[in-house]
A and B are shown apart, each in its own frame.
Chain A
């Protein structure tokens, strides 16, 4: 090993102990019976949970899309404003993240509850009476879970897209306009393709934590919106204690995520080179 390689030693040890080893342990668990023998039952029995898989990917996909639809215009707008505005906007985007994740999600509970802030407000202005209902159901719906995901993960969409757009060479935009492109055409033909790498990493950074979340779905879904994270948690800490099954589910989830990300990255590959120019 050369001298510079020595600097990597702490990281290699860290990775080995806390990334590679745990994954190997999980892999062994996934193919074991409770007694320790080899089995494929953990995977074969997973069909019962298809709806949980479906819901997880479906809700995560929607949350990612919503983040993209909010995050892209936001990033675009920020990147084109002055430096001072950008600093303030960045601070406002980061600010919620300084608060504890659970606390943030609990606050949403008290806002969305049947007797929460929104319903109280609707009651006060007479909207609920007018509709003839006691409350509007918001908590314990898929929408509440998506809202929780979007709220928590939106900054991870904005930051990568913003940092790509802000680095775009302005002379490229001028060149496009010079060649006859209207503002819309400049966006479609230059800005959008060149910002794809940011979109790819933003989508990755929102989708992966969304698909595996368990606190958001439990607190805002109230047990009605079980997701993969909840299912896995139950196998390790909950009543359904079955670590072998839990390990198998995590392995399958990981595999699906890896496939999704490979496809995504391939999609943005050509552009990535372009931005490094």
Chain B
């Protein structure tokens, strides 16, 4: 159905001997919205810069429409980028920023010299783009007179006016406040569908990735952890890292007795997974919103509430089951100290093979600290960006 446009084959990259990309294989279809998602230092920006032509992989191939483009410099690629901090030209106004690519002329088949684009055409295309990003009437403004969100739109218009086949976006919403982020998310999705071009989007924000993407590529430590639709990634995480990074997860040690039967906390549960070796140790993922709270006497498991946080729509309730603390999201209030029972349905239980990430995530004993870490992600990412320069 949809055609493959870009393929990375066995790509590796290292800076100062430190491996940042470890033999990545990835293909990207025409007109899809693909997100590279992962924590700082996972290799997502490096992957983007390789596609943009700012980095050449040490190993492996980059194919565009089936043609190897490893050695093609950025200005000859049919790819444009929206940079993390916009990188707008401060000496030009809004109109001239957007017109920048058009004023450079266009390539004519078989000729070395670029052909000038007529002034009327430049004007028409710039105004059309400014309309797409809702910045009509701003064309004579200086860049310094724009808000962050407006600068963002200029950067998008500037990249799209060249009619690239692919738009690369490097954490484009990172500098905006929450409200503006949400608006821009749907705006970007709308632009992508309207222009029918491929977006490759880099972010560390899982909510953003889930909301916008056709395909999500979860990365960590220079490797691809999972590729799939947002639903796949959320519902069927491949390992503990993905389960923890996408949404909240309780991750327990379990043993797969036979197909559709898993044991944890010394109790057998029915599940929907099969194909594991008999008595294989596994990671069991249970999403906090899937847990049903019942009176203690009718629960499959019994635990004690140790903390409750009001979150607006629901309560984040931490429940201690034999020393392992679960996060349960529920609309019912249960006070600290209360004993509750829980029931798990077979489709609430997700089974994963053990991986290098087993045991690292999924216990909410240090619940509040974990929230601090999430807050730190943005800061860490800025440091990563600074190193790139």
Q: Chain A residues in contact with chain B, CB under 8 A?
A: 169-172, 174-182, 185, 189-190, 193-194, 270-271, 273-275, 277
Q: Which residues of A contact B74 (CB under 8 A)?
A: 174, 177-178
Q: Which residues of A contact B389 (CB under 8 A)?
A: 170-171
Decide: A179 and B83 in contact? CB cutoff 8 A: no
Cα distance A275–B91 when bound, in Å?
Answer: 8
Cα distance A274–B96 when bound, in Å?
Answer: 14
**With A179-B104, A180-B104, A273-B144: A172-B75 Cβ-Cβ less than 8 Å:** no
Task: Kindly provide the distance from the CB of A128 to the nearest chain B CB, expressed in whole angstroms.
Answer: 49
Task: Kindly provide the distance from the CB of A129 to the nearest chain B CB, expressed in whole angstroms.
Answer: 51
Decide: A179 and B91 in contact? CB cutoff 8 A: no
**Chain A: which residue is nearest B49 at the CB level?**
A174
Residues of B41-91 contacting chain A, CB below 8 A: 52-54, 73-76, 79-81, 83-85, 87-91
B217 at the interface (CB under 8 A from A): no
Selected A-B contacts with CB under 8 Å, 22 pairs: A171-B85, A172-B89, A174-B74, A174-B81, A174-B83, A175-B83, A175-B88, A175-B158, A177-B73, A178-B53, A178-B79, A178-B80, A178-B159, A180-B75, A189-B100, A189-B103, A189-B104, A194-B90, A194-B91, A271-B91, A274-B90, A277-B143
Interface of A is mostly: helix
Cα distance A172–B158 when bound, in Å?
Answer: 13
Decide: A171 and B101 in contact? CB cutoff 8 A: no
Cα distance A269–B88 when bound, in Å?
Answer: 19
Cα distance A124–B54 when bound, in Å?
Answer: 55
Decide: B104 and A190 in contact? CB cutoff 8 A: no
**Chain B: which residue is nearest A185 at the CB level?**
B104
**17 new A-B pairs (CB below 8 Å) besides A171-B389, A178-B81, A181-B104?**
A169-B87, A170-B389, A171-B84, A172-B87, A175-B88, A175-B89, A178-B74, A178-B75, A178-B80, A179-B158, A180-B101, A181-B75, A189-B104, A194-B91, A273-B90, A273-B144, A277-B143
Decide: B100 and A176 in contact? CB cutoff 8 A: yes
B239 at the interface (CB under 8 A from A): no
Cα distance A277–B83 when bound, in Å?
Answer: 17
Decide: B75 and A190 in contact? CB cutoff 8 A: no
Decide: B91 and A270 in contact? CB cutoff 8 A: yes
Residues of B336-356 contacting chain A, CB below 8 A: none
Q: Which residues of B contact A178 (CB under 8 A)?
A: 52-54, 74-75, 79-81, 159
Cα distance A230–B100 when bound, in Å?
Answer: 51
Q: Chain B residues in contact with chain A, CB under 8 A?
A: 52-54, 73-76, 79-81, 83-85, 87-91, 100-101, 103-104, 143-144, 158-159, 162, 389
**With A194-B91, A270-B91: A174-B104 Cβ-Cβ less than 8 Å:** no
Cα distance A57–B342 when bound, in Å?
Answer: 92
Task: Kindly provide the distance from the CB of B129 to the nearest chain A CB, expressed in whole angstroms.
Answer: 13
Q: Which residues of A contact B88 (CB under 8 A)?
A: 175
Cα distance A51–B150 when bound, in Å?
Answer: 57
Query: Which among B52, B75, B79, B103 has the highest number of chain A CB atoms within 10 Å?
Result: B75
Task: Kindly provide the distance from the CB of A76 to the nearest chain B CB, expressed in whole angstroms.
Answer: 17
Residue in B84, B91, B159 whose CB lies within 8 Å of A193: B91
**Chain A: which residue is nearest B80 at the CB level?**
A178
Q: Which residues of B contact A275 (CB under 8 A)?
A: 90
Decide: B89 and A190 in contact? CB cutoff 8 A: yes
Task: Kindly provide the distance from the CB of B111 to the nearest chain A CB, expressed in whole angstroms.
Answer: 14
Q: Which residues of B contact A181 (CB under 8 A)?
A: 75, 100, 104
Cα distance A231–B103 when bound, in Å?
Answer: 52
Task: Kindly provide the distance from the CB of A196 to the nearest chain B CB, expressed in whole angstroms.
Answer: 9
**Chain A: which residue is nearest B106 at the CB level?**
A180
**Chain A: which residue is nearest B155 at the CB level?**
A175
Task: Kindly provide the distance from the CB of A179 to the nearest chain B CB, expressed in whole angstroms.
Answer: 4
Task: Kindly provide the distance from the CB of B167 to the nearest chain A CB, expressed in whole angstroms.
Answer: 11
**Chain A: which residue is nearest B76 at the CB level?**
A180
Q: Which residues of B contact A171 (CB under 8 A)?
A: 83-85, 87, 389
Q: Which residues of B contact A177 (CB under 8 A)?
A: 73-75
Cα distance A174–B86 when bound, in Å?
Answer: 11
Cα distance A194–B91 when bound, in Å?
Answer: 7
Task: Kindly provide the distance from the CB of A238 to the nearest chain B CB, expressed in whole angstroms.
Answer: 49
